[in-house]
């Protein structure tokens, strides 16, 4: 599936194309540059842009396919949300470490870095 060709055929910008799929323009840029497109994203594209695709590439209106694509999408979202929480916790720990280092520097040098 040539995403750039499809996007141009639809007349959408990368941002607009991504928004229709719930993706960022950066994701669309990566896909257009050749990054692997997940099965769930391929299904969403085949569903959302069916009228622009050849008959053999369209996603049939099989509710099972749509439900499977949405389920995979929700699972992807859950994994991303977990990663965001992990990163936020790491940032909080790093800030705490930074504050402790500043306190130690002040204690031993008498100078404040902030």
49-82 confidence digits (pLDDT tens):
888 888 777 766 455 566 777 788 888 898 999 9
Identify which of 4, 1, 14 has the alpha carbon closest to the alpha carbon of residue 46: 1
User: Model pTM?
Assistant: 0.50
Exposure on the CB side of residue 103, measured as CA atoms within 13 A = 6
Segments of the chain with pLDDT less than 50: 61
Residue 59's region, left for phi above 0, alpha for psi from -120 to 50, else beta, is beta
């Amino acid at each position: 599936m040539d995403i750039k060709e499809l996007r141009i055929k639809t007349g959408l910008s990368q941002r607009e194309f991504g928004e229709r799929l719930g993706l960022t323009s950066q994701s669309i840029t990566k896909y257009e540059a050749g990054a692997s497109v997940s099965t769930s994203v391929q299904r969403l594209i085949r569903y959302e842009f069916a009228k622009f695709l050849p008959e053999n590439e369209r996603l049939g209106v099989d509710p099972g396919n749509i439900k499977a694509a949405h389920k995979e999408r929700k699972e992807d979202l859950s994994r991303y949300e977990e990663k965001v929480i992990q990163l936020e916790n790491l940032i909080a720990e790093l800030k705490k470490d930074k504050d402790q280092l500043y306190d130690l520097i002040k204690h031993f040098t008498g100078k404040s870095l902030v």
